[in-house]
Structure 1
C-alpha cells in the first residue's frame, strides 16, 4: 500500500508529466492559489498534498491516476471535501479534485439522474426539482453526493426510499490501473455491490446513476424544547418512532438555543401526503405537543429548499471533531446519556444528533449491499465544533466522553462515513459479515491499496 510521502524528485517528475498532459491552470502546487485548492469544510485539517489536480473530465482522472502510480505518489480523491477526518487530502501526495465535475443530467423516462463525481446534494436536488423529483440525500446540501452514497447515506427520506446507497444504480469508476469501468447490475455487479456502502476504497467514481422519486413537497421544520424537558420529550419521541410510518423520519438532537442554553431539537421530515403532514391531528404536528416548545415551525416546503437551507448551520472553515455510535433505540440508558452530555455542550457550535433509521432502509437484506446494519436504529453523531484560533481541547474531550458513554449501549461498528482512522474499536466491525466479500473485491480491483476513502480493514494472510 502506498502511504509515505513521495520523494521530492518523484514529485517533480510527476508535476512535469502532468504539465505535458493538461493545462497548467488545473495543476496546483504550493504557491499562489494553493491554499484555496486545499481548503476543506473542517478547518482543523492540516494535510498538504504536493500536487492538486483539478479534474474536468474522466480523462483527466485517468491521466492523474496513471501519473501518480508511475511516480509512486500517494493518492486521494476530493468530492466536496466534507469528510471531517480530511481524507480528501493526502500529505505529500496527489489529490484529485473532482469539484469541476458537478454536472447533473436528469432522465425523466428512466426516472434517474446521472450525477458527476463532484456534485453536491444541492446540485442534484436543484436539477431533479425542476421536474418535481427528489433524490435520497443527507440533511446538508453542500455535502457531496458520491461520498455520501459510497458510505451508505443516511437522510431524511430513508424511511420511504432507503439510503443513498440503496438508490445507486450504476457508476463510472476509474480503477487503480487507470482503466475505466462502467458498473451496474449486469456489468461488474460485485463492484456495484461494494460501492453501495463500502466507501471510497475501490476507485474514483467519476459519475453515478441514481434513482429519483416524486415528492413534490415535504413537511418539515424544527421544534425546540427547553433542556429540562429533554428526557421526557425523548421518551415520547421513542414512542413516536416505534409507530412512525415510512413517510416520517424523526431526527433529534442537542443544540444551543438562541439564548445560549442547551435545547432539544426535534426535526421531523414527512414525505407523504402533504395534507396529512400538515393536519393538526396527524403524526407530524403531534411532535409539537411532546412538551412545551420554545419554538415550533413546521411547514410544507420543497425538499431541495430545506436541505439547502441547513448549509448555513455548518459553514466551511470551523474546526470539527466527530464521533459516532449506533444504538438500537432510545432506551432509558441512552436517554440518560443524551440528557447528560447534551446538557454539557462544550461550545455553542457543538451538537449531538440522533439520526432515525427505519422503514424502507431497514427492509433491505444485510447481504444485498455492502452497508450491513439494516435493523432499525439511531445513528448518533457527536459533533464538537470550535472556531479557528480557539482551543479545541474541551470539544475533543466532550466528544470522546460522549462516545465512550454510548459505547456500552451501542451496536458493534459504526457509520463508516463518520469513523475516523483512530476509531480502532469500531472499524473492524463496521462492515459485519460483509467484510470478507469487501476484502476479496478490494484485493481483486486494488491489490496495492491505492484508494482508502473510508476505513476498510485489510485481509490478513498467513
Structure 2
C-alpha cells in the first residue's frame, strides 16, 4: 500500500482510501447488491492525473477499473484501483458551430440541460444519470436514434490518455484508427477525458408515456408500426406488470401492460399524426404523450434508489405475435414481482451509416430485446439470474443473437464476439495491440491484444 500511496502522491484530484469516512458512499455504483471493495479510488482532476493513475496501475500490477457515471458493471474492482472520472464533468457549448466539448463524468441529464438552454441537443441513452464516458464509447442507443443516429455518429473528436500515458487528440484526421475504435469499442484503448459532440437543433418534442394492454397481437403490431413510423419517431416499449408509482393509477398496479415512451422530433401537429396509429391499437390505459421539453424524457430518479437487477439482451431481425406470446408467457412465470421485457425498434438514421464506419456494427438489425428482472433480496440472485438467462437464450435463438456491448454483464463475456462481426473484431484487436499491448484496460468488455 505504501508503494501505491507514493505512486499517487502527485495527483491533484482526490485520492480516497478505504479508511476515509465517505469511501463506501463514493464506491457505491448505480446497481445495488454489488459489493466490490477497491484498494483505492482516485477522483482525477485532469488528464495529467489520469496518466499518473495509469502509471500506478502499471507499476503496482493492481487491476484497474475506469468509472464515469457508475452504471457500468465494470466500474469497480476488488483490491484494485478505480480511476473515477466523476469530477471531469464540464460541458462547453459552441452555439455557432453546434458542437460541445464534454467531460466523461458529466451525465446525460446534465449535458442535455446545458444544450437545451440553447435549443440544441445530442442524443444519448434513456437514463439521465448515466455518465457520458461509457455510454458514448459503447455506441449510445436512445430516444433519438431513428432521427439522428447513435451517439457515436455525433462524436466528432475525443481527447484520450493511452495506456502508456500519452495524451492524444483523436478524430477523423488524427489517429483515425483509434477514433474508429472508440466509437463502439468501449474503454479498451484508453481513458477518454473529453468528448466533442455534434449538436442538433432541438429543444421541444412531442412525446411521453403511453400505456396499452399487453396482448401478443398488440405487441406485434406496435413493433411493426415502430419500424414503419416516420424516422422522427423513436420509442422504447417495456412489457411488464404496471409498477406502483404515483403516476400509475392504482387499479393498474401489477397488471401486465405495455408501457411505451415515445419521442417525436418535431411539432405537436405532426407528432400527433405520427403517434395516432399507436393510440389506435387499443384504448390507452394511460396517455401522457404531449408537447414537452426533450429533457423531460429522462424521468426523475431518486439518488438513493439502487436496484438489484439482471438482464440479457439480444438483437432481433423479426418480431411477430408468436414471439410476443412467448415473451408474455415468460413474464407470467416470474421469479420476482418486477420482471420486464424491453423492446426497441431500430432503423432510421442509425441504419444509414455504413456498418464498417464505426466499431458499432449492428446497423442493419431491426430490434433490440432485453429480458430483465429487478429484485429485492440479494440471496435470490441465482434464481433470478437463471430466469433472465433462460429468457434471453430463448430470444437469442430467434435470430442468432448479437449483443450490444453496453448491455453485457460481466458474467457473459463469452458473448463479446457477438458484439462485433469478424472483420470488426480483427480491426479492434489490431488497434488494441497498438495502443494497449499489455491489456492494462481489461476490466471491461475486453478485446485482448494478440
TM-score (norm 2): 0.93
Determine if contact 1:221/1:299 at 8 Å carries over to the other structure.
yes
Determine if contact 2:13/2:44 at 8 Å carries over to the other structure.
no
1:298-333 deviation per Cα after TM superposition (whole angstroms, max 9, x unaligned): 1111111222x2535x96422111211111132344
1:165-216 deviation per Cα after TM superposition (whole angstroms, max 9, x unaligned): 1111100101101110110111001111001001111111111001111112
The farther-off stretch of 157-166 and 344-353 is: 344-353
Say if 1:329 and 1:24 are closer, same or farther in 2 by CA, change over 3 A: closer
The farther-off stretch of 60-69 and 430-439 is: 60-69
**Who is 1:202 aligned against?**
189
How do 1:54-453 and structure 2 match up within 5 A? 54-83=43-72, 86-227=73-214, 230-257=215-242, 258=244, 259-278=253-272, 282-307=273-298, 309-312=299-302, 316-387=305-376, 391-423=380-412, 426-432=415-421, 433-452=423-442
Determine if contact 1:103/1:123 at 8 Å carries over to the other structure.
no
SS at match of 2:226: helix
Q: Distance in 1 between matches of 2:378 and 2:177?
A: 46
Determine if contact 1:150/1:165 at 8 Å carries over to the other structure.
yes
1:345, distance to aligned residue in structure 2 (A): 4.1
Determine if contact 2:119/2:202 at 8 Å carries over to the other structure.
yes
Determine if contact 1:413/1:427 at 8 Å carries over to the other structure.
no
Say if 1:151 and 1:339 are closer, same or farther in 2 by CA, change over 3 A: same
Determine if contact 1:170/1:210 at 8 Å carries over to the other structure.
yes
Determine if contact 2:101/2:194 at 8 Å carries over to the other structure.
yes
1:404-442 deviation per Cα after TM superposition (whole angstroms, max 9, x unaligned): 111211344300111123325522231113100000000
**Who is 1:4 aligned against?**
none
1:135, distance to aligned residue in structure 2 (A): 0.8
SS at match of 2:36: coil
Say if 1:411 and 1:270 are closer, same or farther in 2 by CA, change over 3 A: farther
Determine if contact 2:107/2:130 at 8 Å carries over to the other structure.
yes
SS at match of 1:392: helix
Moved over 6 A (4+): none
SS at match of 2:380: coil
5+ residue gaps in structure 2?
Answer: 245-252
SS at match of 1:283: helix
SS at match of 1:170: strand
Say if 1:318 and 1:30 are closer, same or farther in 2 by CA, change over 3 A: farther
Q: Distance in 2 between matches of 1:134 and 1:434?
A: 30
Q: Distance in 2 between matches of 1:323 and 1:310?
A: 25
The farther-off stretch of 324-333 and 340-349 is: 340-349
SS at match of 2:230: coil
Say if 1:223 and 1:165 are closer, same or farther in 2 by CA, change over 3 A: same
5+ residue gaps in structure 1?
Answer: 1-10
Determine if contact 1:51/1:94 at 8 Å carries over to the other structure.
yes
1:337, distance to aligned residue in structure 2 (A): 2.4
Size of the aligned set, in residue pairs, is 440
Say if 1:70 and 1:456 are closer, same or farther in 2 by CA, change over 3 A: closer
Determine if contact 1:158/1:360 at 8 Å carries over to the other structure.
yes
Say if 1:82 and 1:423 are closer, same or farther in 2 by CA, change over 3 A: same
Determine if contact 2:227/2:347 at 8 Å carries over to the other structure.
no
